[in-house]
Amino acid sequence: MVDQLAFSQENWERIHAVENSFGPSGKPLFQQGRVLIGEGRLMKQSRRGLQPKVFFLFNDVLVYGSIILKGRWHKKQQIIPLEDIQLEDLEDSATMKNQWLIRTPRKSFYVAASSYEEKRAWIEHMEDCRSRLLQSSGLRPSSTFAVTWIPDQASSICMHCSNKFTVTQRRHHCRNCGFVVCSACSKKRAIIPHIHPTKWLRVCSTCHSSLSRTEAEEMSCVRGNSTEKIGSYEDEVDGSTEEEETEEQMEDHDPSRWVDPWSIYFCLKLEHVRPRT
């Protein structure tokens, strides 16, 4: 009993420290039965390139955020339920070593560790925690995942019309297929339920046509007629910009505010998830 109380107190202090690091903008993280398993920094592929992020693995969620003030504080907290995560191990590429893919219904992205051993530790502990969670809770894993975005630097032209990107001809991303497209080829908006159930998201003209057909077929089966959930930018969106639609446009790109982008992955022993009485 003494060991269990000591572990509970240590776990509470660790979770409280993580909460405080995100400041008032972060969501509360402590709840009954939640245990902090490990933490460390990974390089995350964003639309603007590789960025160091801090990651915290709990026994039921994965939390990550941007690093500010020389690593002492974090912002843009993201919380992903482990039952919604699917991992895919990947070979090294020219730009990323020790990488793997994290898929979620709302967002999918590549991350990389500082070493192969650290990569394996992250993957094994995430999969172990997810397996334990599904077995103990009866939760059903997600079966629909968001596509990964093609990075900005991967294409200098629109992947639909081939027009060249310039200072005034900006890059955009289709939320359905992840292609890099120009404004003219992504004027439409659509609701993609597994990404956001109510928000109108930017899609390319090709995906808009496909989603329109799928929506019409689904609604005709239910009601015998179609309820419009696909719309044009001018008719359905209140002028929201690409910057407002994704946190990737608001990343802090000042390297002087970061510490070493790599830090050793710290992990508690997994048997501590259920401390002995």
Number of folded domains that form the chain: 2
Q: Are residues 200 and 256 in the same domain?
A: no
If asked whether residues 28 and 88 sit together in one domain, one would say: yes
Same domain, 192 and 93: no
Q: Outline where 96-204 has alpha helix (H).
A: 116-137
Residue range 47-90, pLDDT digits in tens = 778 899 999 999 999 999 999 876 679 999 999 999 999 999 99
Q: Are residues 78 and 191 in the same domain?
A: no
Q: Determine the structural domain holding residue 126 and report its residue range.
A: 2-145+252-273
- Give the chain's radius of gyration (CA, Å): 21
31 and 116 belong to one structural domain: yes
Residues 6+ apart with CB under 8 A from 9: none
Pair 238, 187 in one domain: yes
**Cβ contacts of 277 within 8 Å, gap of 6 or more:** 1, 4
CA distance 10 to 13: 5
pLDDT in tens, 94-150: 888 999 999 999 999 999 999 999 999 999 999 999 999 999 988 888 888 898 888
- Answer yes or no: do 20 and 94 share one domain: yes
pLDDT confidence tier of residue 263, bands split at 50, 70 and 90: low
| pLDDT confidence tier of residue 236, bands split at 50, 70 and 90 | very low
The domain spanning residue 181 has which CATH number? 3.30.40.10
Residues 6+ away with beta carbon under 8 Å from 44:
50, 51, 52, 53, 64, 109, 110, 111
Q: 137 CB contacts (<8 Å, ≥6 apart)? A: 83
34-260-253-149 Cα dihedral, nearest 10 degrees: -60
183 and 240 in a single domain? The answer is yes
pTM over 0.85: no
Burial class (CB in 10 A: 0-12, 13-18, 19+), 56: buried
